[in-house]
């Protein structure tokens, strides 16, 4: 899979000739440039100073926006993923391309709608989730990507109530929480209770994206004896966009293609070695 782009889109400073002193002053206040504000009277009296200050402020705003983007992308832990532009839409037997592309517009964040991507292993659920997270980061949102196993194991291992509250807050805080691979393992009642607590904290206020290989009706297989499964599913589904992806594993397809290419290369090399060289 392709890595997250190393070169982030840079915010270009907006340098134009139309600005007001009030706008400049507000920008300086937002940037907490108290020394500059202390000498504001000198700036208002000098049009050339106003032009220079305007340029400097735009540079500073752009640089801070770039640093903010880099920090949010680093904190998102998206790892490596295939860009949606490289996805082979013809491979899955079932996929609602229009629904996924609409989700990439991030409208679902406006009313804290959840997203559940359902399908077997290798059909592109995690790739779609990572792309959603990346688009959200670019749009200025905070994002955290984790696997269900990693998150629930980490939470369940905490003995201290204060440590558990802090860790739950870490997962509850991002604008978008991406929980990958829910359904591949079975969990205890404690794991189920912790997931329910987390979903409840985010309920109606922030969007949670879940990838799973199990239909909601099969979640009792994931949490075999948990009493909260019905309530957990109810809260997750209440405002959710559910997208079904079905088909054969794309990773298996790529592995088979690579194996065929290697076999063809070996055959060609063997033929080249066995072919007598023409005499001069």
pLDDT digits (tens, 9 = 90+) for 80-118: 999 999 999 999 999 999 999 999 999 999 999 999 999
> Exposed, middle or buried, 130 (CB in 10 Å: 0-12/13-18/19+)?
buried
CB 211 within 8 A of CB 185: no
Least confident of 29-38, 141-150, 171-180: 29-38
Reported confidence tier of residue 234, pLDDT bands at 50, 70, 90:
very high
- The sign of the CA dihedral 75, 81, 84, 85 is positive
Cα atoms in the Cβ-side hemisphere of radius 13 Å centred on 72 = 23
pLDDT at 73 over 60: yes
Choose from 6-10, 15-19, 74-78 the range with maximum mean pLDDT.
74-78
Nearest to 193 by CA among 239, 226, 158: 226
Q: What is the pLDDT of residue 121?
A: 93
Closest CA to 65 of 166, 152, 156, 140: 140
For the beta carbon of residue 142, count every other beta carbon within 10 angstroms.
16
Q: What is the pLDDT of residues 166-215, one digit of tens each?
A: 999 999 999 999 999 999 999 999 999 999 999 999 999 999 999 999 99
**Helical (H) or strand (E) element with 219:** helix 219-222
Which residue in 72, 198, 61, 199 sits closest to 133, CA to CA? 72
Distance from the Cα of residue 139 to its chain's centroid: 11
User: Do the beta carbons of residue 152 and residue 164 sit within 8 Å?
Assistant: no
């Amino acid at each position: 899979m392709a890595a997250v782009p190393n070169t982030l889109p840079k915010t270009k400073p907006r340098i134009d000739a139309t600005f007001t002193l009030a706008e400049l002053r507000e920008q300086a206040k937002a940037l907490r440039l108290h020394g500059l504000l202390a000498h504001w009277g000198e700036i208002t009296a000098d049009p050339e100073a106003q032009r220079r200050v305007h340029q400097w402020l735009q540079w500073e705003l752009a640089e801070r926006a770039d640093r903010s983007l880099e920090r949010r992308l680093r904190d998102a832990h998206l790892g490596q993923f295939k860009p949606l532009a490289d996805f082979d839409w013809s491979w899955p037997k079932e996929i609602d391309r229009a629904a996924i592309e609409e989700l990439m517009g991030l409208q679902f964040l406006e009313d804290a709608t959840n997203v559940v991507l359902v399908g077997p292993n290798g059909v592109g659920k995690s790739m779609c989730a990572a792309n959603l997270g990346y688009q959200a980061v670019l749009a200025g949102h905070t994002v955290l990507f984790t696997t269900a196993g990693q998150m629930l194991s980490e939470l369940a291992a905490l003995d201290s109530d204060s440590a558990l509250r802090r860790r739950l807050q870490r997962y509850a805080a991002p604008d978008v929480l991406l929980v990958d691979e829910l359904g591949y393992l079975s969990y205890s009642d404690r794991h189920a209770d912790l997931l329910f607590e987390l979903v409840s904290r985010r309920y109606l206020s922030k969007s949670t994206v879940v990838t799973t290989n199990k239909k909601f009706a099969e979640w009792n297989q994931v949490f075999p004896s948990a009493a909260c499964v019905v309530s957990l599913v109810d809260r997750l589904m209440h405002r959710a966009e559910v997208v079904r992806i079905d088909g054969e594993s794309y990773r298996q397809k790529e592995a088979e293609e690579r194996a065929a290419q290697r076999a063809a290369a070996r055959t060609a090399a063997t033929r080249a070695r066995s072919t007598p060289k023409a005499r001069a």
